[in-house]
Amino acid sequence: MSREPRGPNEKLGTVLALAGISNAGLARRVNDLGAQRGLTLRYDKTSVARWVSKGMVPQGAAPHLIAAAIGSKLGRPVPLHEIGLADADPAPEVGLAFPRDIGQAVRSATELYRLDLAGRRGGVGIWQSLAGSFAVSAYATPASRWLISPADSSVAREPEDAEPATSTTNGASTEALPQRVGHSDVTKLREAAEDARRWDSKYGGGDWRSSMVPECLRVDAAPLLLGSYSDEVGRSLFGATAELTRLAGWMAFDTGQQEAAQRYYIQALRLARAAADVPLGGYVLASMSLQATYRGFADEGVDLAQAALERNRGLATARTMSFFRLVEARAQAKSGDGPACGAALKSAEGWLERARAGDPDPSWLDFYSAERFAADAAECYRDLRLPRQVRRFTEQALARPTEEFVRSHGLRLVVSAVAELESGNLDAACAAGARAVEVANRISSARTTEYVRDLMNRLEAFRDEPRVAELREQARPLLVAPA
């Protein structure tokens, strides 16, 4: 449905021409974006013509999907006012800001937490109707501001700055004195982050236990951020909340909610700056890099990884620096730069060899090991189409399988299957593929599902082979389920 006509929408027509999108092309893109968000839309070129020539405004999520479709083609966010749809129902333009002021930073983060859950409760999740789609350009300002100044001068929040706590009894809301935050409050957040990291690694970002992170941010973290605290407690609070926020972004990324992930990452970086935790900020940048690379923006992925490296020289532990270099290698490989990838991998390996058991490594890096290095090196060589190297590193990565990192094990098996296939070993490829499918069927991870689908597409040339047909049947639930 659409609202009453109001005259030609010249802004929309102009931007469509600038983006080189036809009426039919826009309708198709909007329908596809809606389908990705669980919406059934049936717009066609006539619908778009009405939007442009008569100024009709579609209802619901459509205006925001239009902005997302055009923004994806232009490679940047497109606000509703630019396409003449500013009077549509407002969508949550939250989480993209990287405020300089610490008070504004708190408001930006807590608004994101609150709005997220409100959308989840409303049936159609907030990320399904979110204005704008993933745009790598949105990372430019956060990264540059963090590089210029990775720490706030003071984050103390006095009682007069804090918001009163609210509670509801018998339907009536009452206000209490602002909460005074202590170290015990921060400890609870850190424990929640550690629990969530374990669930995420073992069951995937879409598992219900992992998806409780946004709830924790809204119910537990937001009131603390809005309370009062000393500079010392505040730094610790911002650090713990940054960890949780980055984790929420990582889980959204793993389940294919790229718009949500981007906003969580930006807020996590801002919170890490408030915590004066440069290594944690680098970890957020590394997460941004992996997402940018995954979305096809390898050059920007290199920039983000190198930003993490540069600010952490002389600050981060050897193991942390190794991981940042490994993330850079992933982006270099995706861009097709073999020599740069090789140099980054060599550096990452060198840093890892320097790491010692007694080093003060951050707890969020406990997943990183020699096996993880080998797994990512294998993916680098897969992207560079060097199957012999892929096989060598995959063997190292699978040498010590663990129940703690189930998703990673599944991804490694898919990479192994691809390497065997490219080496002409169909039996070995199907065997590794079968083990990967078994893992993918018992976790909730869109990335793992996409890896399996990619493998099955590569096996399409051998579809008449009984072993391939058997594997396809085993993978059927993954092939028919929405990505």
- For 465, half-sphere exposure in the C-beta direction (CA atoms, 13 angstrom radius) is 12
How confident is the model at residue 440, as a pLDDT? 86
351-356 CB contacts, 8 Å cutoff, 24+ apart: 351/318, 351/319, 351/321, 351/322, 351/325, 352/318, 352/319, 352/322, 354/318, 355/317, 355/318, 355/319, 355/322, 356/318
Contact 186/233 with Cβ under 8 angstroms? yes
What is the rounded distance in angstroms from the CA atom of residue 41 to the CA atom of residue 331? 35
- In which band, very low, low, confident or very high, does the pLDDT at 410 lie, cut at 50, 70 and 90? confident
The residue among 329 and 192 whose pLDDT is bigger is 329
Whole-Å CA distances, 483 to 65, 446, 449, 455: 18, 6, 7, 15
Q: Give the burial class of 127: count Cβ atoms within 10 A of its Cβ; 0-12 exposed, 13-18 middle, 19 or more buried.
A: buried
What are residue 166's DSSP bridge partners? 175
> From CA 143, how far away is CA 301, in angstroms rounded?
12
Alpha-carbon gap, residue 314 to 300, rounded angstroms: 24
What 8-state DSSP symbol labels residue 228? B
pLDDT bucket at 86, cuts 50 / 70 / 90: confident
Kind plus residue range of the DSSP H or E element containing 165: strand 165-169
Asked whether 300 and 350 are in contact (CB, 8 A), the reply is no
Task: Compute the average pLDDT of residues 439-455.
Answer: 86
Task: Using CB atoms within 10 Å of the CB of residue 183, give its burial: 0 to 12 exposed, 13 to 18 middle, 19+ buried.
Answer: exposed
Q: How far is residue 143's CA from residue 140's CA, in Å, rounded to a whole number?
A: 5
Query: Which CATH number among 1.10.860, 3.30.450, 1.10.150, 1.25.40 corresponds to the domain 102-162+179-397?
Result: 1.25.40
Q: Which residue has tokens 């923006």?
A: 297
Q: What is the pLDDT of residues 156-184, one digit of tens each?
A: 998 876 776 654 445 555 555 678 999 99
pLDDT digits (tens, 9 = 90+) for 30-66: 888 877 665 678 899 999 999 999 888 887 678 878 8
Instruction: Report the C-alpha gap between 25 and 136 in whole angstroms.
Output: 23
**Alpha-carbon span 291 to 297, nearest angstrom:** 9
pLDDT higher than 80, residue 398 = yes
- State the Cα–Cα distance between residues 115 and 123, nearest whole angstrom: 13
From 197-206, 302-311, 412-421, 433-442, the region with the lowest mean pLDDT: 197-206
Please report the pLDDT score of residue 125 as a whole number. Answer: 46
Q: Give the CATH number of domain 10-83; options: 1.10.10, 1.10.260, 1.20.120, 1.10.3470.
A: 1.10.260
Q: Do domains 10-83 and 102-162+179-397 have the same CATH topology?
A: no
HSE-CB at 201 with a 13 A cutoff on CA atoms is: 18
Residue 119 pLDDT grade (very low, low, confident, very high; cuts 50, 70, 90): very low
Distance, first Cα to last Cα, the chain = 28
Q: Spell out the domain ranges in the chain.
A: 10-83, 102-162+179-397, 398-483
Task: Decide which of 406 and 385 is more confident.
Answer: 385
H/E run at residue 91 = none
Of 117, 199, 106, nearest in space to 156 by CA: 106
Provide mean pLDDT across the span 226-248.
96
